[in-house]
């Protein structure tokens, strides 16, 4: 169990009998001298932690209020971009905005 735990520190020699297992859960690493079947501090290193998942998460934002957030098809994305560019072009033609 310690082999897949994120808190396990395992030192292995060349022989099968040459192995030391330490647990880093505690302030001072403790040597574990027997195979562990169950541990209340077990944290699987193969699974991403909450902090890891927050680091790789995508942040989806919108440019305007009322617009939906999420993934769209390529055609709809192009259509939305064209509408935005038309609105920006018509706003730049407005003489009141140029003052």
pLDDT means per 10 residues in the chain (99 residues)? 86 86 85 85 84 77 68 76 80 56
pTM (2 d.p.): 0.44
What is d(CA 9, CA 30) in angstroms, rounded to the nearest whole number? 10
Instruction: Classify strands 19-23 and 8-12 as parallel, antiparallel or unpaired.
Output: antiparallel
Cα–Cα nearest to 10, from 35, 37, 27: 35
- What's the pLDDT at 59? 67
For tokens 């706003």, the residue is 91
- What's the pLDDT at 16? 80
Whether residue 23 contacts residue 11, with contact meaning beta carbons closer than 8 Å, is answered with no
């Amino acid at each position: 169990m310690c082999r897949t735990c994120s808190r396990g520190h395992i030192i292995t020699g060349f022989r099968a009998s040459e192995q030391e297992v330490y647990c880093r859960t505690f302030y001072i690493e403790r040597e574990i001298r027997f195979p562990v079947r169950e541990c209340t501090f077990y944290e699987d290193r193969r699974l991403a932690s909450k902090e890891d998942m927050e680091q790789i998460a995508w942040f989806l934002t919108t440019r305007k209020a009322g617009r939906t957030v999420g993934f769209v098809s390529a055609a709809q994305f192009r259509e939305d971009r064209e509408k935005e560019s038309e609105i920006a072009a018509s706003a730049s033609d407005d003489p009141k905005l140029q003052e």
